[in-house]
Amino acid sequence: MTPSAAALLRWYDRHHRDLPWRTPPGQGTRAPDPYRIWLSEVMLQQTTAAAVAPRFQRFLARFPSVEALAAAPEAAVMEEWAGLGYYARARNLHACARQLAASGGFPRDPAALRALPGIGAYTAAAVAAIAFGAPVVPVDGNVERIVARVFGVAEPLPGARSRLAALAQGFLGQAAARARPGDFAQALFDLGAGVCTSRRPACALCPWRAGGCAAEARGEQDSLPRRVAKRARPHRHGAHFLLADPATGRILLRRRPPGGLLGGMLELPGTPWRTAPWERNEALTHAPWPGLPWRLVPGTAAHGFTHFTLDMQLYAAALPAGPAGEAARSACRAAAGWEWRPPAAAAAALPTAMRRLLDLAAEDGTLPRAEPLRPAEPGAAAARRRTVRSGRNTGPRRPERP
DNA sequence: AACGCGGGGGT
DNA sequence: ACCCCAGCGTT
């Protein structure tokens, strides 16, 4: 039997999450602001609501409207996005804002939304349903998981994706779902976030228990949805350089190329990232000024990307006084995309992988410790300490030559 | 269809 | 150590 949309909405009216971008359910509420819905949906792409909430507020304070966002320089948007990951989202968000400002606002039609930069099938449906009440069901990871369970779909992801999406649209056959498309979508998200979770789903709390869910009826809720096995994540190695200017207290940063990994973000200058670790002399050929007395900072910094783990070593040096320092300073100034920034400003603008290098330098006393990206929450601080400690204890992958 | 693209929290 | 999250764009 098909799970009841009305039952899910009743559950949502009682148990919905309160989130900064959300219009609470019920009649008489103000219409949602499409800008806030769009911004939240882009931030929520592959990013948890807990991580998004504080960043959403901060972004909105800095860029309060489509027009304000469109008028901002791209570098300011990238900096505001630092630490959120998937930086193409920020570039597309900015490009989309400029299109919207030029065309006079948001289209309401899902197909027209889908054509905008950074808006795919999911986000188009989410904005159309939540901001405009269009009768569509946005299908994200939560919805795929819920649908696979309630309909007992055994085919593994990602192959089952189109089938699951079609089954999700089938809810619109029920009048209750058609009457409140935005709330129905958010009800599915909240069910997925709090009840029909990826591991150990809380079936006892589910409005679709007992008759609404094929997986629960068969005791298969822990094994659905199935997924095809993915291969192990390899390691790559890099060496980066922390060059300080004692005269100004600033450190040298470099802007990465606009596309690809960490595209358009700042970094500490470094070697390419490759399979084999870097010997000292080989690494130093990539230093911004190879002739300086570079000192290897003890330990390594590690950072996990989607498809590989990066292990980084850090070399530190300071510009010497006098003509030699001035020569290095002017050479680095002449290179395109190089900038000197105070360490605190650098930390705020750098992606997390690069912040790990600053953390490593701070443990060593080379730099003052950077402010955490977000205020500490229970559990978060412990997790951060674990990461730092693991970085320190990993040690150089290959011992220094005596 | 497969792959590249961050980062964090839960288990 | 691994999983997965309010996915999108490119090839």
User: A217 or A230: which carries more pLDDT confidence?
Assistant: A217
Q: Which of A389, A401, A387 is nearest to A277 (CA)?
A: A401
In this prediction, residue A211 carries a pLDDT of 80
In this prediction, residue A391 carries a pLDDT of 32
Cα A317 from Cα A269, distance rounded (Å): 13
Cα A148 from Cα A168, distance rounded (Å): 10
Nucleotide nearest to A380 (CA to C1'): B9
Question: Would you say residue A382 has pLDDT above 80?
Answer: no
| Token pair belonging to A318 | 């300071």
pLDDT band, very low/low/confident/very high, at A75 (cuts 50, 70, 90): very high
Q: How far is the CA of A136 from the C1' of C10 (A)?
A: 26
Q: Are A209 and A216 in contact (CB under 8 A)?
A: yes
Q: How far is the CA of A381 from the C1' of B10 (A)?
A: 15
Nucleotide nearest to A41 (CA to C1'): C6
Q: How far is the CA of A39 from the C1' of C7 (A)?
A: 14
Question: Would you say residue A151 has pLDDT above 60?
Answer: yes
In this prediction, residue A376 carries a pLDDT of 37
Let me know if A41 is a catalytic residue. Answer: yes
Predicted model pTM: 0.85
Contacts of A14 (CB under 8 A, 6+ apart): none
Strand C contact with A284 (CB < 7 A)? no
Q: Which of A169-183, A219-233, A290-304, A309-323 has the lowest mean pLDDT?
A: A219-233
Q: Are A370 and A359 in contact (CB under 8 A)?
A: yes
Cα A75 from Cα A14, distance rounded (Å): 42
The segment with the largest mean pLDDT, out of A129-133, A298-302, A379-383, is: A129-133
* Cα distance between the two ends of chain A: 72
Question: Would you say residue A395 has pLDDT above 50?
Answer: no
User: A394 or A247: which carries more pLDDT confidence?
Assistant: A247
Strand C nucleotides, any atom under 7 Å from protein beta carbons: they are: 2-9
| Residues within 7 Å (Cβ) of strand B | A 46-48, 50-51, 82-88, 158-159, 162, 197, 199-200, 260-263, 303-307, 351-353, 373-374, 377, 379-380, 383-384
pLDDT in tens, A76-135: 999 999 999 999 999 999 999 999 999 999 999 999 999 999 999 999 999 999 999 999
User: A374 or A271: which carries more pLDDT confidence?
Assistant: A271
Q: How far is the CA of A272 from the C1' of C4 (A)?
A: 29
Report the phi/psi class of residue A264: left, alpha or beta, with left for phi > 0 and alpha for psi in -120 to 50.
Answer: left
Nucleotide nearest to A198 (CA to C1'): C4
Which residue has its C-alpha nearest to nucleotide C2's C1'? Answer: A232
Percent of chain A whose predicted confidence (pLDDT) is above 90: 71
Q: Which of A314, A305, A313, A310 is nearest to A235 (CA)?
A: A310
Cα A208 from Cα A214, distance rounded (Å): 10
